[in-house]
Structure 1
């Protein structure tokens, strides 16, 4: 899940569009999301089932390899693969009544809308009929693949974040170990930062701007064990001492270097998923990024000397070694004409240990089965192991699903982008943020 998942604003905007389309679909469709199923699963599977997914290029080949395993196990079944289909395309196709069987999404943000609208079928009847044990799925992953107790998706790999750091830059600056606290992150970041003769930034130790690469509220939430909503769906961001402390820490960091200077430097950096990524080139010495970065570096900058470590935290607030987790989710489309084949394919991609390991080894994403995380066939080096350990941490958490596609994350991001530039009365701004999120949540409905 690489290209689309890297922009929180785009994820939540597209998810919100999908939510609107999904609600229209629900209004126009007949029947229930919990359509009646055969009480006895077919003993032999035959026919063609379609799989829509967002991967392209090399990564699409990895999915094809996993699907080949399913076809070999089921000789009478052919999987018709539609690659390069992002969430917006998937939603439009489902809404228009196209015969889509299994849809694989890059965003957990769609779960609330797709479950509540019926765009993806309720999987409970299949799970109950076949006595499927979901205990192999970590708790946080089980949390983000259902909405208000309704399970319309299963997971298919995840992303977790860690701190990546340039060993050569650390040695040059006399830093012997990665930072564990926010104060250490700032101190090391400033020490690693170098300047040109004109005062412009030459190398940035750590980029504190919230709109740089993976810097977003959810990717930073592990710094404070951040929470977003209460049990009733109301925003708790503005009431959280942790969020306030993190915002103030970040603003102080930005101001110490200079917002305009940081923006000028950042505007000249390479694209996140291109070979000239700023961490690849050494222009940024530390960054928060996902496990997939290890695969990009191996492919695009194999001689880079770097290490990985858990995200630094606010002492006494954040849990060092945990993180925010999200990932790919897959479901059976409402209009599927082959629900039994779809269920079999979905189970294979989500619940088969070997399939998970095949995809994880190829994509360098994190398996969403405990058995796959512990598998001897999972290809793990010291750098990737950091992410595996973080994914298995019992305090690793996720963000709650909402029927509007988790739009509160986009609202928080826009708030933060304005804050880092303008500053002001933080308490007042946080109260307004809660009000804005609550108002949007009420409009979105239950």
Structure 2
């Protein structure tokens, strides 16, 4: 399940980067843990939902059967900032999981997680043939593969069939805007009761990292500098969002949005029938099954720009990553767990079926044991689409995203009215930050 990196984690990462770049210890040569050396390893992860925790218990039970001499002590609800602080303090877990790929470049560059290439070489594991191309790319930076993928996330459009009233899911942004207006229900005073779609960039998964793929937008130039201001796709997307926001009325839309329950709870507005269509990840299928089993809904790829109809079916891809933090006490046993959770087909299928994330290896994707109901199949198809993409690895990935989203909020709220100047300022901030960190 994708969760956003907390601001405190970004600050922590900056501190670790500044203190540790280039100081990673190579550690001992890769070997396998053996029955002659019983060991208990610490595993930190961020999962919290009961269904997720049960899935992990079942998966770790399978690991215990295969490696009975390794005991795994799992700690839930861990966020990136806690991992970073533990690395700084010299007391990291043996294995740590992160919900975001945004910081992989920093993790690898600063040595927060150890380079796993020696283990892969020793185990004759070829990431290029085991993982789909996008996944193989987002788990490494400058030749260092410091994390492995453990399930993947793809994004699509969820739609409430009852609220759609027989309408088919939109394939273009124009169709999405028209259908949004048809399906929106207001009180006499204009108060929104049901929204066809909430266009605000502040709406849950509507961040530019997910919506940019709808227009094929580019984040960076080959040299790492910002391409946001020079790529007309961003301007097109932001104008589309603002036009629809203005149709609602920004203040009325914000009042409606702020009335929503927590995204990860049973009070999610899509599950409550307050929103007819919503951008979300594949994991929402499992949450609907648990919290709103009677909801009649469907899934579809994200709509695309009207002049890019051939790209329909594509989406954004990211995922959970896992690795061995610098300073881990039991590195060989830790590698066995990392390898199991990221390469064992049965383990990946068990987790995918339980929490409805996309399997991250080609064998797991082909497994006959993988549950493939129509609403989940949508995300498997998006995952396989050659036009699907991820955010290129960048040492300032989180900063770049935050800078653009802050600009989007200023634009859609009407606080900024010159879009060209606003996006030029985004480029300026991103490029200045790059100059400060490029050699760090």
Distance 1:237-1:288 versus aligned 2 partners, 3 A rule: same
SS state of the match for residue 16, structure 1? Answer: helix
SS state of the match for residue 333, structure 1? Answer: coil
1:274: which partner in 2? 265
Alignment RMSD, CA only?
1.8
Q: Is residue 112 from structure 1 mapped to residue 102 from structure 2 by the alignment?
A: no
Please identify, of 48-57 and 334-343, the stretch whose mean Cα deviation from structure 2 is larger: 48-57
Q: Is residue 409 from structure 1 mapped to residue 401 from structure 2 by the alignment?
A: yes
2:410: which partner in 1? 418
2:435: which partner in 1? 442
Q: In the TM superposition, what whole-angstrom CA distance separates every residue of 1:42-85 from its partner, at most 9, and x where no partner exists?
A: 66574222211111241122122211111100121111212221
1:208: which partner in 2? 199
Instruction: Tell me how far 1:170 sits from its aligned partner.
Output: 1.4
1:372: which partner in 2? 364
Pick aligned residue for 1:433 from 406, 418, 426: 426
Pick aligned residue for 1:322 from 280, 290, 314: 314
2:212: which partner in 1? 221
In 1, Cα distance between the equivalents of 2:396 and 2:214?
26
Residue segments in structure 1 that go unaligned for 5+ positions in a row: none
In 2, Cα distance between the equivalents of 1:153 and 1:445?
21
SS state of the match for residue 327, structure 1? Answer: strand
Indicate conservation of the 8 Å contact 1:18/1:110, yes or no. no
Pick aligned residue for 1:71 from 54, 64, 70: 64
Q: Is residue 346 from structure 1 mapped to residue 334 from structure 2 by the alignment?
A: no
2:78: which partner in 1? 85
In 1, Cα distance between the equivalents of 2:107 and 2:19?
10
Indicate conservation of the 8 Å contact 1:22/1:113, yes or no. no
In 1, Cα distance between the equivalents of 2:364 and 2:11?
34
Instruction: Tell me how far 1:405 sits from its aligned partner.
Output: 4.9
2:152: which partner in 1? 158
2:375: which partner in 1? 383
2:294: which partner in 1? 303
- Listed as ranges, the matches of 1:174-185 within 5 Å are 175=167, 177-185=168-176
TM-score, normalisation: structure 2:
0.94
Q: Is residue 235 from structure 1 mapped to residue 226 from structure 2 by the alignment?
A: yes
Instruction: Tell me how far 1:22 sits from its aligned partner.
Output: 2.6
Residue segments in structure 2 that go unaligned for 5+ positions in a row: none
Instruction: Tell me how far 1:37 sits from its aligned partner.
Output: 0.9
2:54: which partner in 1? 61
In 2, Cα distance between the equivalents of 1:18 and 1:97?
14
SS state of the match for residue 102, structure 2? Answer: helix
SS state of the match for residue 284, structure 1? Answer: coil
